[in-house]
Amino acid sequence: MTLVQRLSERFWFIPALMCAAAFVLAETFIALDRRLGDLLVPGWASVFLYRVGESGSRDILGAIASSSLAVAGTTFSITMAVLALTSSTYGPRLVRNFMADRGNQAVLGVFVSTFLYSLITLRSIRVLGDPGNQDAEVFVPHLAVNAAVILAVVNVAVLIYFIHHISDSIQVSTLASAVRSDLLRVIDRLYPDDVGRAQPAHEEHTTAALAIVEAHGAPVTAERCGYIQSIRDEELMDAARRYDVLLALQVRPGEYVLDNTVTVLIHPPDRADDRLIRSIRSATQIADARSPHQDPEFAVQQLTEMAVRALSPGTNDPYTAINALNDLSAGLARLVARTPPSPARLDKNGSLRVHAPAVDARHLIGAVIDSMRWYAASSPQVMHATLDVLERVGDHAATADLRADLVRHVDLLEAAFTNAGLQHHDVTELTRHAASVRRSLFRAGSSHA
Q: Give CA–CA dist 225/122, Å, rounded.
A: 49
CA-to-CA separations, 264 to 221, 268, 269, 278, in angstroms, rounded? 7, 13, 12, 12
The confidence score (pLDDT) of residue 166 equals 85
CA-to-CA separations, 197 to 194, 294, 316, 341, 447, in angstroms, rounded? 10, 20, 45, 6, 21
Interaxial angle between packed helices 53-90 and 296-310, expressed in degrees from 0 to 180 and rounded to the nearest 10: 80
Amino acid at 261: T
The confidence score (pLDDT) of residue 198 equals 47
- Listing from the earlier edge strand, what are the strands of the sheet with 226-231? 256-257, 226-231, 284-287
Mean pLDDT value across the chain: 85
CA-to-CA separations, 425 to 361, 373, 383, 422, 435, in angstroms, rounded? 34, 19, 14, 8, 15
- Given pLDDT bands bounded at 50, 70 and 90, which one contains residue 200? very low
Residue 25 above 60 pLDDT?
Answer: yes
The confidence score (pLDDT) of residue 199 equals 47
H helices present in 191-285, as ranges:
200-216, 233-243, 274-283
- Which residues belong to CATH 1.25.40 in the chain? 295-339+359-448
DSSP summary character for residue 95:
H
CA-closest candidate to residue 389, choices 445, 449, 317, 336: 336
Highest mean pLDDT pick, 71-85, 168-182, 188-202, 362-376: 362-376
CA-to-CA separations, 95 to 144, 175, 257, 315, 368, in angstroms, rounded? 38, 10, 23, 19, 21
Angle (nearest 5°) at CA 229 between 224 and 235 = 90
What is the four-CA torsion angle of 18, 19, 22, 23, rounded to 10 degrees? -140
For residues 82 and 180, the model is more confident at 180
- Write out pLDDT tens, residues 245-286: 999 999 999 999 998 899 999 999 998 889 999 999 999 999
Residue 409 above 90 pLDDT?
Answer: yes
Q: Are 315 and 322 in contact (CB under 8 A)?
A: no
The confidence score (pLDDT) of residue 203 equals 65
Q: Are 26 and 144 in contact (CB under 8 A)?
A: yes
Does the domain at residues 295-339+359-448 carry the CATH identifier 1.25.40?
A: yes
CA-closest candidate to residue 333, choices 254, 273, 373, 388: 388
The confidence score (pLDDT) of residue 3 equals 63
Q: Give CA–CA dist 235/384, Å, rounded.
A: 46
- pTM, rounded to two decimals: 0.80
The confidence score (pLDDT) of residue 348 equals 84
Mean pLDDT of 178-185: 90
Mean pLDDT of 66-92: 82
Q: Give CA–CA dist 185/292, Å, rounded.
A: 9
Q: Are 141 and 124 in contact (CB under 8 A)?
A: yes
SS3 state at 139: strand
CA-closest candidate to residue 359, choices 300, 399, 404: 300
What would you report as the CA-atom Rg of the chain, rounded to the nearest whole angstrom?
30
Long-range CB contacts for residues 1-10, cutoff 8 Å, separation at least 24: 1/229, 1/230, 1/232, 1/285, 1/291, 1/293, 1/294, 5/293, 8/100, 9/96, 9/99, 9/100, 9/291, 10/99
Q: Which residues of 357-367 are buried (b: 16+ CB within 10 A; e: fewer)?
A: bebebbebbbe
Mean pLDDT of 371-376: 94
DSSP summary character for residue 348:
T
Q: Which of 124-133, 149-158, 274-283, 345-354 has the lowest mean pLDDT?
A: 124-133
Q: Which residues of 320-351 are buried (b: 16+ CB within 10 A; e: fewer)?
A: bbbbbbbbbbbbbbbbbbbebbbbbbeeeeee
- Given pLDDT bands bounded at 50, 70 and 90, which one contains residue 136? low
> Could you tell me how far CA 215 lies from the centroid of its own chain?
38
Percent of the chain whose predicted confidence (pLDDT) is above 90: 47
Mean pLDDT of 322-342: 91
CA-to-CA separations, 423 to 211, 415, 417, 426, 436, in angstroms, rounded? 54, 14, 10, 5, 20
Mean pLDDT of 173-177: 85
Query: How many C-beta atoms lie closer than 10 Å to residue 88's C-beta?
Result: 11
Q: Give CA–CA dist 312/376, Å, rounded.
A: 9
The confidence score (pLDDT) of residue 129 equals 56
